[in-house]
Structure 1
Amino acid sequence: MSVPVLTFFNNKGGVGKTSLVYHLAWMFSNEGKRILACDLDPQANLTASFVEEDSLEAIWSQDTQKENNTIYQCVSPLAEVGDLKNPHVREISQSLAVVCGDLSLSGFEEILSGEWTKALDTVNLYRPFRILTAFWQVMQSGAKMIDADMIMVDVGPNLGAINRSALIATDYVVIPVAADMFSLQGLRNLAPTLARWRKEWSKRREGWGEPGFPLPDGGMKPIGYIVQQHGERQGRPVKAYGKWAERIPREYARTAGQNQLDSIPISPEEDINCLGTVRHFRSLVPMAQEARKPIFHLKPADGAIGSHAAAVQKAYQDFRDLANRIVRLIEGSEK
């Protein structure tokens, strides 16, 4: 049985996606889940959050390109005559590990695009499917190494071939959004894209009657959205936030394939599809980056004193509530 894959996806950047994956991976780990985080964004920002700069330099060195330190190094033999490599799973804590990203991954995009068409052929399907499912194969291999309960995936903000392969490897999708016009447009683009990828992957799977190895289902089921980084005055969202926030429930309902739009609530706070709202923790963010730890792990020695200490506790509760809700939704779907 495969390990469930949870991907955070919006084709609009700047919605706090990588920060969400980073903090929730730590929180799931705190709550007793064994987590494998996988960085499928060629910008590799999630990897940079987990791994110190000196180690990153060694991982991405030309001298290590034939090894298995990154997702790209594991899938790149497919570009020649080789096969997938099992990943080096980098331990972050006893219950959290990461498969590192790689800026070179962008070079795999063209290969994925070509094999997507070849997967519709009637013969010689082993190689196209091996390439298209490479991310899923590597992630599942890594998850088994650490006996992971869940795989969490960060992807880039686009609708290209890398993200298509990441999404066909995905069971559940969480959509981070910001309350602005551009984020809503990104959300609007997701509905037809996810539906099309799901349908096209199903057609390809059905065309390979007897697969030579296990294939992902490509369910990519949206389980909710998270509203990111709104400003507040006296505990209430500022006016600009409210204007765009009111439109999020309806746009998400379309993305999730919900047809009863007349009954959609007018704000995320009333919407059962809203998993939570993550505040902008402002000065805690650079403090956490300097300490190389999640916001809710900051200590007085890191500078979290006075009002900062109270904000740390609030962050802990917010992320804990968010993590627990996501777990309940996934476990409910798995039954």
Structure 2
Amino acid sequence: MKSIALFNNKGGVGKTTLAYHLAHMMQRIGLSVLVVDLDPQANLTAMCLDESEIEDLWGGTSELIDQGAVMAALSGTGRVRGGQTMADAVRPILEGTGDIAAVEPTRLRPGLWLLPGSLDLSRFEDKLSNEWSRAYGGDIAAIRTSTSFHRVIQQAASVVDAEVVLIDVGPNLGAINRAALISADTVLMPLAADLFSLKGLSNLGPTLRRWRSDWQSLVLPRVPRDISAPSATMQPLGYVIMQPEMRLDRPLKAYERWLERIPWVYSSAVLGESSPDSHGDHHRIATLRNYRSLMPLAHDARKPMFDLRPADGALGSTQQYVKTCFKEFEALSGKVLARLERIL
């Protein structure tokens, strides 16, 4: 089993959309995939499940439904059971009643599984933050807390025999993301060509290296043998440029200017190279065009953009756009898997 965390310190670049479509495409090409929602906003879960399933999963009325983000619906689809989210898995640790609880991954389709997220996961932030430094001293309870995401993911991946695990995390450098990222073998970074993404890269690279160093030197040597702990490799896999919707008030030249700066910032900040690459772009895996016109159709149909059919509203020239989308995500998945194989 190999894992990929999709992460960017800047929100709104299409990270969750990328995770969702990569998971479905990797399943389409024959892999067993587990996708994990560790973003407390639970956007990936909302993309994967319909409103009635979210109600079942979260035990009736939820914050997301109360806020009007999803509409309430009749329950009883049968794919999910209440109390089977990542928040439920770590609740015994949070409440001091025990270790991680086993949760049942949701089967989205044959070979594709979801460990659902929940807004309740945000309650675990302070617990993880407080226990991090205590793990340096070998405190067993702190180590169990800090390794909880890794152990939940490992347990679920074993149950469904997952070959690839995709982990979706929120856009920040907080304690939840730290625990999520140390659980990942590799990190894939979706980027927009703008100042905010570049600043996010500048913050992300040194932080990942510090987390890796602290975990491997201060915590791993103190982990008891009966506790499964991640190695915190967090190997940078590369980045994917998510093209914006071009507007008259954002000229193409401005986009290209930021695009030209990404290779240097990535090499310098993320990889920590002493002689950053300012010309080549071999760390870029792909550039994905903006599929904004397909997203509403995909959302309504509860399926990936590349699976849209005329019955879903993808008519005429839009169907050709769907085929282009399929080819691009198929190529992207192949490149990501090739890099994963090469790095690990």
Q: TM-score, normalised by structure 2?
A: 0.89
Q: CA deviation at 1:306?
A: 1.8
Q: Give the unaligned 5+ runs of structure 2.
A: 63-80
Name the amino acid aligned to 2:42. A
Q: 1:10·1:187 contact (CA, 8 Å) conserved in 2?
A: yes
Of residues 104, 110, 119, the one that matches 1:103 is 119
Structure 1 residue 249 corresponds to structure 2 residue 249:
no
8 A contact 2:37–2:115 mirrored in 1 = yes
The runs of at least 4 aligned residues of structure 1 exceeding 3 Å deviation read: none
Structure-to-structure mapping, 1:132-171, within 5 angstroms: 132-171=146-185
- Backbone CA RMSD of aligned residues: 1.9
Matched residue SS, 1:308: helix
2:326 corresponds in structure 1 to: 316
> Does residue 189 of structure 2 align to residue 191 of structure 1?
no
1:33 aligned partner: 31
Provide the rounded CA distance (Å) in 1 between the counterparts of 2:130 and 2:157: 28
* Matched AA of 1:103: L
Deviations 1:169-210 (A, max 9, x none): 011000111011111111111111101101111123344164
Q: In 2 relative to 1, CA 230–129 (structure 1 residues): closer, same or farther, beyond 3 Å?
A: same
Aligned twin of 2:135: 119
SS across alignment from 1:83? coil
Shift of 1:58: 1.7
Once structures 1 and 2 are overlaid, which stretch shifts more, 237-246 or 29-38? 237-246
Q: Which residue of 2 aligns with 1:91?
A: 107
Give the equivalent residue in structure 2 for 1:259. Answer: 274
| Aligned-partner SS, 2:187 | strand
- Asked whether the equivalents of residues 120 and 207 of structure 1 are also in contact (C-alpha less than 8 Å), the reply is no
Contact 1:42 1:156 in 2 (8 A): yes
1:204 and 1:67 map into 2 onto residues whose CA distance is 38
Q: 1:226 aligns with which of 236, 240, 249?
A: 240
Q: CA deviation at 1:62?
A: 6.6
Instruction: Give distance in 2, aligned partners of 1:76 and 1:170.
Output: 21
Pick aligned residue for 1:200 from 214, 219, 222:
214
What amino acid is aligned across from residue 202 of structure 2 in structure 1? Answer: R
Q: Does 1:300 align with 2:310?
A: yes
Partner SS, residue 136 of structure 2: coil
Matched, 1:14 2:12: yes
* Aligned with residue 70 of structure 1, among 68, 85, 96: 85
Aligned residues: 321
Q: Which residue of 2 aligns with 1:289?
A: 299
Is the contact between residue 39 and residue 100 of structure 1 (CA under 8 Å) also seen in structure 2?
yes
Whether the 8 Å contact between 2:193 and 2:262 is mirrored in structure 1 is yes
| One-letter identity of the residue aligned with 1:260 | S
Amino acid at match of 2:137: D
TM-score, scaled relative to structure 1: 0.92
Using a 3 Å threshold, how does the CA distance of structure 1 residues 209 and 300 change in structure 2: closer, same or farther? closer
Distance in 1, Cα, partners of 2:117 & 2:171: 15
User: For residues 207-228 of structure 1, what are the alpha-carbon distances to aligned partners after superposition, in whole Å with 9 as ceiling and x for unaligned?
Assistant: 4164332211000010100001
Q: Percent identity?
A: 41
CA distance in 2, matches of 1:177, 1:18: 12
Q: How does 1:323-334 map to 2 (within 5 A)?
A: 323-334=333-344
> Following the alignment from structure 2 to structure 1, what is the Cα–Cα distance between the partners of residues 334 and 274?
27
State the partner residue of 1:45: 43
Question: How far did residue 264 of structure 1 move?
Answer: 2.8
